[in-house]
Structure 1
Amino acid sequence: MAYDEGLAHLWREDLAEVEGIAELHMFGGLCFMARGHMLCGVIRDGGMARVGKDHMAAACAMEGVTPLAFTGRPMGGLVALDAELMADDARRGAVLALALDFVAGLPPK
């Protein structure tokens, strides 16, 4: 399953100033890791972010965000971002801020 390289470029630009970011191909997409923890990524023609369970309600209240469900069951703390949200710098940045806040509270791997 291929992913949109243009969306990966958007995440790269957003994360350019964040230390400790690595890229990893997984789930047929591209995942960005922060200090060894999954942070965000690109799947097919949209994005995903790990906002944590405490930020799920705030993230899902944004237009274009839904719980991530690869197998039909929601994956706790992970959200899917549609293509329109990914194209919107402000909304994408708001979701990324939630994800960065969540991952910052995790111990380094």
Structure 2
Amino acid sequence: AMKERGLGSVMAPEVLEHLSSKRVLTTRWVEGERLEGSRADDVPRLCGVALNAYLTMLLDTGTLHCDPHPGNLLRTPDGKLCILDFGMTLNVPRDLQLSLLEFIADLQAENYERVP
């Protein structure tokens, strides 16, 4: 799905449906190193790719990954970004998607008076 949106360097582990339930999400193991601990030259680029991927998920599908911390981002041996832990996601209505974008833009621009 990410490749179709111009994010071919993003992947997520395959979900093992037969080992998953409403309370447990089991995925295939992915080789890689945590982005926060990697010394690879492309880490800054992959951080930008991660932000783009999270925003694309939100705006294209309405899906918000609710646990986007650095430990859930891997750099694979072939230089791709792997986003882990989709166990906690939320479907966000369109009007709230735009409000979240405004919030992020205000934080980025340091317009703190506009941040609730």
For normalisation by structure 2, the TM-score amounts to 0.29
> Structure 1 or 2: larger helix share?
2
Higher strand share: 1
For the pair shown, the structure with the greater C-alpha radius of gyration is 2
TM-score by length of 1: 0.31
